[in-house]
C-alpha cells in the first residue's frame, strides 16, 4: 500500500493532507509556511518525505471558466520545482471549490490543509472510480499537467 500527499499551494501557506496507506482516508496536517521561499520549499520537500508519499497531488487553481489565471501559472511553476526535486509522480488536480468546501466543514486544522484534504478526497474517489473498484488504487497514466475533466468538486 502507498500514501498520497495533496498540496493546496499558496505562496504564504501550503496546505498539506495525506492519505492512509490504503488510500481510503484523507487527513489534513499542519500547513507549511512560505513554500515559495527556499527555506519554506525545503521544509515542504522534507514534510513530503516524512509522510512517505508515493504520489503528490497539487491543486490547480483554474478560473471558474476553466482557464489559467496568474495563480494557475504560479502553481504550475511550483509543480515544476517539485518535479525537479522529488522522485515521485506529481499530478495536478482541479481544485475549484475546495477552499469553499473546507471553510464550510470547519475544524481545528488550518483551512489550507482542510482544502488539501478535500482535494485529496476528490482525487482518491476519482482514482477508485477509474480503477472500477472501491479498494486501494494505483496512479493512472495520463498527462500530469492537465486536470482530469471529470473531477469538479462543486458543492
Rounded-to-integer distance, Cα 24 and Cα 149, Å: 22
- What is the reported pLDDT for 99? 53
Ordered by start, the domain boundaries in the chain are: 3-131
- What is the reported pLDDT for 139? 41
What 3-state DSSP class applies to 34? coil
Could you tell me the mean pLDDT of each successive run of 10 residues in the chain, 155 residues long?
91 95 93 96 97 95 75 93 96 71 57 87 86 52 41 36
- What is the reported pLDDT for 127? 85
- What is the reported pLDDT for 144? 42
The domain 3-131 belongs to what CATH superfamily?
A: YqgF/RNase H-like domain (3.30.420.140)
- What is the reported pLDDT for 149? 39
Residue whose C-alpha is closest to residue 118's, from 100, 130, 135 = 100
CB 153 within 8 A of CB 118: yes
**Sheet hosting strand 26-33, strand order edge to edge:** 26-33, 13-19, 3-8, 53-60, 90-94
Amino acid at each position: 500500500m502507498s500514501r498520497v500527499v495533496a498540496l493546496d499551494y499558496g505562496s504564504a501557506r501550503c496546505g498539506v493532507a495525506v492519505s492512509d496507506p490504503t488510500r481510503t482516508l484523507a487527513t489534513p496536517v499542519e500547513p507549511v509556511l512560505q513554500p515559495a521561499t527556499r527555506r519554506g520549499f525545503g521544509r515542504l520537500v522534507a514534510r513530503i518525505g516524512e509522510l512517505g508519499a508515493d504520489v503528490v497531488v497539487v491543486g490547480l487553481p483554474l478560473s471558474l471558466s476553466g482557464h489559467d489565471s496568474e495563480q494557475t501559472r504560479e502553481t504550475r511553476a511550483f509543480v515544476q520545482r517539485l518535479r525537479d526535486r522529488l522522485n515521485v509522480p506529481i499530478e495536478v488536480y482541479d481544485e475549484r471549490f475546495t477552499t469553499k468546501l473546507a471553510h464550510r466543514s470547519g475544524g481545528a486544522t488550518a483551512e489550507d490543509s482542510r482544502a488539501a484534504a478535500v482535494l485529496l478526497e476528490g482525487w482518491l474517489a476519482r482514482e477508485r472510480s477509474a480503477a472500477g473498484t472501491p479498494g486501494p488504487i494505483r496512479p493512472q497514466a495520463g498527462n500530469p499537467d492537465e486536470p482530469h475533466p471529470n473531477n469538479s468538486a462543486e458543492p
